[in-house]
Amino acid sequence: MAVSTSFLPIISFSPISSSSSSTSSSSFLGPTLVQTHHQGSLIMSKQSSFRRLLINCSASSDMGSSPDPMNLRPNHMSSMGPFGMQMNDKPSYKWQRVLLKVSGEALAGDHSQNIDPKITMAIASEVASVTRLGIEVAIVVGGGNIFRGSSWAGSSGLDRSSADYIGMLATVMNAIFLQATMESIGIPTRVQTAFRMSEVAEPYIRRRAVRHLEKGRVVIFAAGTGNPFFTTDTAAALRCAENVLFVGPVNAEVVLKATNVDGVYDDDPRHNPNARLHDTLTYHEVTSKDLSVMDMTAITLCQENNIPVVVFNLNKPGNITKAIKGEQVGTLIGGTWNSMVART
């Protein structure tokens, strides 16, 4: 084995035959000092202009050859993901890494309480089924089931900024609840908040979030963008635009928006039974027709960064799994189901 780098001292170790004298001797060979012992030799060299480190371990001819231990190591390190899955195995699905946007209202279920444990368990179970396949999942949660800042602004002197900060705290509550549910069934999960709450969650650090995803952990982003006047839909689009979900191949990033409806309709299906469900839409159609999908800031951010959006019904069993695996479900914005190249 030989390892060589530049600008360091030269050190060489090599065993001599058993017939070598047990006494040590030293001699000078030019600028090199050689000192020999009964177990090995140490050669130190110091050059005026360069200093190098060379470690050489070799057996003498009468001891026979031995395999290089460095050659016995595998060419790559394979990390073990959750459920015993090898993380270097590439999934053969449309998306390798996805962001799931779950609204706070969807977590409330039938609204008999702020958070419905059956809903969070259903989400956790379906996310677990796709993480077993090697798909990396990040989640952004809303807080409308507990507190919606835009609805409370102006009440009892509460200004909009303060109301929005309270709403951000509500998203943290949902995130911690969802994290506990996921970890109860064996899904390693991390919560990252847009502002520091180090006693209960990690601060949002892009590189750390990416590393968690690479290790097979689910990452839940809470507290929105950390700024008032921006929705959690915008936070979901922002996390994609920041390259949290970029893994190399084209179309490897997508926002999956889980709601209480089957997708995007041309009219309100609650008031018009003849309303038609759109299979696909362009960003321009969403903005020009003022369709209630996401706020305009989020849609614009997705359009500028070519991030497709899938809107689907959270309450139908299996929909989360279908959406994460890239199967056709709900409405796709900014692409087509056969080709995920974004359309404007």
Pull the structure tokens for residue 185. 């069934």
Do strands 32-36 and 41-45 pair parallel, antiparallel, or not at all (unpaired)?
A: antiparallel
Rounded alpha-carbon distances, angstroms, from residue 74 to 56, 61, 122: 21, 28, 39
Q: Which CATH class for the 82-333 domain?
A: alpha beta
- In 153-201, the DSSP E strands lie at 189-193
Judge contact between 32 and 45, C-beta under 8 A. Answer: yes
Pull the structure tokens for residue 91. 């999934």
CA dist., res. 12 & res. 45, Å (int): 10
Q: List the pLDDT tens digit at each of the 344 positions of the chain.
A: 454 444 444 444 444 444 444 444 444 444 444 444 444 443 444 444 444 433 344 444 444 444 444 343 333 334 445 545 444 455 467 888 899 999 999 999 888 899 999 999 999 999 999 998 889 999 999 999 999 988 888 888 899 999 999 999 999 999 999 999 999 999 999 999 999 999 999 999 999 999 999 999 999 999 999 999 999 999 999 998 886 665 554 334 799 999 888 999 988 888 888 999 999 999 999 999 888 889 899 999 999 988 999 999 998 999 999 998 889 999 999 987 765 444 55
Supply the DSSP symbol for 26.
E
CATH 3.40.1160.10 boundaries in the chain: 82-333
Judge contact between 53 and 5, C-beta under 8 A. Answer: yes
Side by side, the strands of the sheet bearing 32-36 are: 10-12, 41-45, 32-36, 25-29
pTM of the model: 0.71
